[in-house]
Amino acid sequence: MAYNTAIIIDNLEVEYDYDYLGDMGDWRTSKELKDVVVGAGVTLSANWNGKHTHTMDAEILDIPAPNPDNYTPFKDLTKEQCHEFIKSDIRYWSLMSVLTGQVYSSMQTTTGIGLCALPWE
């Protein structure tokens, strides 16, 4: 038995003329890349063997800047490459941790302790 997780890509944010001169650290050339994915709108979900499903809708994740030597133009990207881009954002892992925590919590039996409305209101 295990957690199952899914990434549904709702949309991709594309920068049409991406200049990597100013913000790319070691890459000090003045070239531009065309049609670079810089963000992804995603829906994330997690469950335990098909049960206890929890979902986070409409999260926007940043995509790290591409390496110009290993760059794939937008029109040639695959779904798998986009999933790898998303997984390289630390925020993805934080959100997945929250989701799997929600799944785990929903699998636990209640302890008989909970918050109630005040009896005089």
User: Can you tell me the mean pLDDT for 23-28?
Assistant: 50
113 or 58, greater pLDDT: 58
Give yes or no for residue 114 having a pLDDT over 80: no
- 20 Cβ partners below 8 Å, 6+ apart? 27, 29, 31, 32, 33, 65, 68
pLDDT range class, residue 15, cuts 50, 70, 90:
confident
Residue numbers of the domain that contains 23: 3-107
Q: What pLDDT digit, counting tens, does each position of 48-105 carry?
A: 887 878 888 878 998 887 877 788 888 999 999 999 999 998 999 999 999 888 888 8
User: Can you tell me the mean pLDDT for 106-113?
Assistant: 70
Give yes or no for residue 119 having a pLDDT over 90: no
Assess if residue 88 is contained within a domain.
yes
Q: What percent of the chain has pLDDT over 70?
A: 79
Assess if residue 96 is contained within a domain.
yes
Assess if residue 115 is contained within a domain.
no
Assess if residue 82 is contained within a domain.
yes
Assess if residue 73 is contained within a domain.
yes
Number of domains present in the structure of the chain: 1
State the average pLDDT for the chain: 81
Q: What percent of the chain has pLDDT over 90?
A: 29
Assess if residue 21 is contained within a domain.
yes
Assess if residue 112 is contained within a domain.
no
Give yes or no for residue 112 having a pLDDT over 70: no
What is the pLDDT at residue 93? 93
